[in-house]
Amino acid sequence: MTGRRFLAVALAIAAAGPLAALDPPHELVPQVCDACHITHTAPGGALTTVAGNFNLCASCHVVGGQASAFPFSATDDPALPGPGLPPGFTPIGDSHRWDSGSAGHTQADPGNTSPGTVRSGGTFNGRFAKTYVVTITGAGNAGVATFSFTDTEGGSGAATTGTDVPLNEGVSVTFTDGGPAPSFRLGDVWRIFVRTDLREPTVPSMLARLEDGKLMCSTCHNQHNQSKTPFDPFAPPYGGPGTGAGRHFQRIDNDASQMCFDCHAQRVTTQSADGSHPVAVPIPGGEYQAPTVVPLDVFGEVVCSTCHGVHYTASDDGTLLRLADPSSLCTDCHTLADVAQAEHFVTTDPRTLWPGGQYGSTYPAVTAPAATGTCVNCHRGHGWPDADNGFVTDYPLLLVDREEKQCFTCHDGSPVSADIRFEFTSASKISSHPLTLATDVHSPGEAAIPEARHAECADCHDPHQAQTRVDLPGPSTSPRPASGPLAGVRGVDLAGNAVDPASFEYELCFRCHSTTATGSPPTPRQFPETDLRLEFNPSGDFRKSFHSVAADNTGSHPVPSLRAGWSTNSKTACTTCHNNDSGPADGGVGPNGPHGSTQPSILEKRFATDQGNYSQARYALCFECHDPAVILDNNVSFEEHDKHVLSEDMSCNYCHDPHGSSSQRFLINFDTTVAFPSGGRLEFEAPEDSSDGSGRCWVDCHLPNGSSRDHNPENYNPNYPTN
């Protein structure tokens, strides 16, 4: 190019509008100008060598081009994220799109033969990302040809081709003729991909650079000027015209994601309750840390560009995440997850991939193997609409379903084999924790002793800490630990103090079954108590006798009926008695834990509390630890067990409180529906210094079968050993 021609080009460019500078690598030198501009018969606007903004940029930003270090491919690179895609389409892309906008982007089917073009318009206002499929049903030019459409949210319709023909939810479509006729041919298909968060930019310099309402490279990039500050912390400073190579040619300052905020205004919020990850916020304390991998903005705050790149991102699934592993991205700031041990993170089992919403949520299945054991199976970084709430709100905590429904989606027998949902929803389970009775009461930050008593999966299981417990612990001299599925949960210790995390299983149970317990015990008792923390506390009111859940029963006598492996120093656990009736602890294949049971009070086995003919099955719960042959042997155990249980068909529950007794040994705490005072006393007296367990009983028994007997008192002298 001669100096005169170069000057002519430079003047022509300058005439197109004011330029603050012509900065490298697009500086004002002949070999650069020639790459984009010619003086006469230019195919594109602004004297460009190629028509179409992306086509012009791609003439250099392509393998083998002058900018081959930063290549783009119109078919592979633009982001096509997963939500809303029709069957057969795979999320793809590692670059921000340059052909989309508030009406989405349109893609012609590769097999089309129509010379006409289809363009979407309007502003999508729906709650779910989706795809419209437009099909020509009658051939012809625009105004004559007919079409039908469907969308992935169930919408459909039909109309005649034309200009701005409405579809639904704010989107219209325009058909433009092209030769030879007919412009639109039978069976040809176009797809329009729309998202919920896109709006036209409001910054004038960006708004002026849309192409048919769609973004183009120049919307975000001022190809001649490097003065605006990018988000890139490694970008060099700007030293004036002719400097600043590596500052990404920003159209406006973007050091705090201002450019992102303009088009993605729907996602600009400072609290997750608004349905999207907070932005423009500092790193809080607590379960957070300053990131060491992803960048904060110039104010030290989390913004869009903290998590998302723009071009050449590590993820290639259309999310434009800076890291290919979503969990690594999340845990750079969030510290609440035990990614080294928690089952939801360490598993390689593909069954842990979200299978698609089933109980209200429409969140699609997560199928990418790389997503196994990552946060995106349960959380959506920019929220997901709650279908049950009429699409008015998003699920809280950026979850993809609400409360127990979130857990049930996987823990209903498929993909996870243990069917937890059955335990709470089957009519055969006559008792269960009341998951379905409260909604929107649980809060992750609630106190260990919640003000509003409730039960949700997350009250007993920390999904970010829970591990698989492959063994079923047997008798131990220590309380059962809060480990495995209970890892990381909060609790209340024997002294009534909140503990985080809980050390023992019983501390978790004390969250609800202590000071917040309401109502009456299942059995009317002589000494009623609903606070289990007091019943199992050796220094509390129930120190006379109790099952050794949290500590040794300091007032215990020898218990010869204990089965092999158990002793008076052994600790039982809440889940020894309260558990699934068909779980592994009972030899079944159902899930472990006190979710639901065919027995009252979520008992693992039958514990008959009424009068009835004796059988071992009636008291199977007691006989888990106690040997019935010993209990009913007058020469070894209490001398009239056989009479009470065998001859008079009395329930163990009539005399014994399984949790404990504040005033009497041997768990004696009479059922007041059958036991009445005798001579003003209702008591089994066993002296403190008694070494053989002998005692006297004052009780007037009136059994349901009509029999009665007044013990006033009855003397008992058991024969069991004292050591």
pLDDT in tens, 82-112: 889 998 898 999 999 999 999 999 999 999 9
Vertex 39 angle, CA 33 and 42, to 5°: 100
Coil, strand, or helix at residue 642? helix
Q: Where are the beta strands (DSSP E) in 139-221?
A: 146-151, 156-160, 165-166, 171-176, 189-194
pTM, full prediction: 0.87
Exposure b/e, 220-247, CB count within 10 A at least 16 = b: bbbbbbbbbbbbbeebeebeebebbeeb
State the pLDDT confidence band at 20, using cuts at 50, 70 and 90: very low
**Residue 110 to residues 77, 82, 85, 124, 190, Cα–Cα distance (Å):** 17, 20, 17, 25, 9
The token pair that represents 535 in the structure block: 């019943």
Give the C-alpha separation, 635 to 642, whole Å. Answer: 11
What integer is the mean pLDDT of 641-664?
92
Question: Does residue 268 have a pLDDT over 70?
Answer: yes
Q: Is the pLDDT of residue 320 over 70?
A: yes
Q: For residue 609, what pLDDT is reported?
A: 96
Q: Tell whether the model's pLDDT for residue 723 goes beyond 70.
A: no
Please choose, from the candidates 698, 690, 702, 692, the residue with its C-alpha nearest in 3D space to the C-alpha of residue 715: 698
What would the mean pLDDT of 159-188 be, rounded to a whole number?
98
* Range from 16-30, 225-239, 412-426 carrying the lowest mean pLDDT: 16-30
pLDDT of residue 344: 92
d(CA 521, CA 171): 61
Average pLDDT over residues 543-554: 84
Q: Give 378-434 pLDDT, tens digit per residue.
A: 999 999 999 888 777 899 999 999 999 999 999 999 988 899 999 999 999 999 999
Q: Which residues contact 217 (CB under 8 A, 6 or more apart)?
A: 53, 54, 57, 98, 223
- Using DSSP, state whether 137 is helix, strand or coil: strand
The pLDDT score that the predictor gives to residue 556 is 58
Q: What is the per-residue pLDDT for 256?
A: 93
According to DSSP, residue 317 is labeled B
Say yes or no to pLDDT of 675 above 60: yes
Give the mean pLDDT of 686-706. 79
pLDDT at res. 540: 66
> pLDDT tens for residues 560-601?
889 999 988 899 999 999 999 999 887 888 999 999 999 999
The confidence score (pLDDT) of residue 3 equals 42
CA–CA distances in Å: residue 51 to residues 8, 37, 245: 20, 11, 26
What's residue 19's pLDDT?
A: 45
pLDDT at 76 over 90: no
Per-position b or e across 525-553, b if 16+ CB within 10 A of its CB: bbbebbbbbbbbbeebebbbbbbbbbbeb
Check pLDDT > 70 for residue 15: no
Structure-model confidence comparison of residues 640 and 148, the more confident one? 148
pLDDT class of 671 with cuts at 50, 70, 90 = very high
Within 8 A by CB and 6+ apart from 608, the residues are 618, 619, 651, 653
Q: How many CB atoms lie under 10 A from the CB of residue 183? A: 23
Asked whether residue 29 carries a pLDDT value surpassing 70, the answer given is yes
Query: Contact, 630 vs 636, CB < 8 A?
Result: yes
Average pLDDT for the chain: 90
Name the residue type at position 339: V
Does residue 485 surpass a pLDDT of 80?
yes
Q: By mean pLDDT, which of 189-203, 498-512, 622-636, 707-721 is the weakest?
A: 707-721
> Do the Cβ atoms of 523 and 669 come closer than 8 Å?
no
Q: At residue 685, does pLDDT exceed 50?
A: yes
% of residues, the chain, pLDDT over 90 = 67
Residue 558 has pLDDT above 80, yes or no: no
Residue 479 has a pLDDT of 94
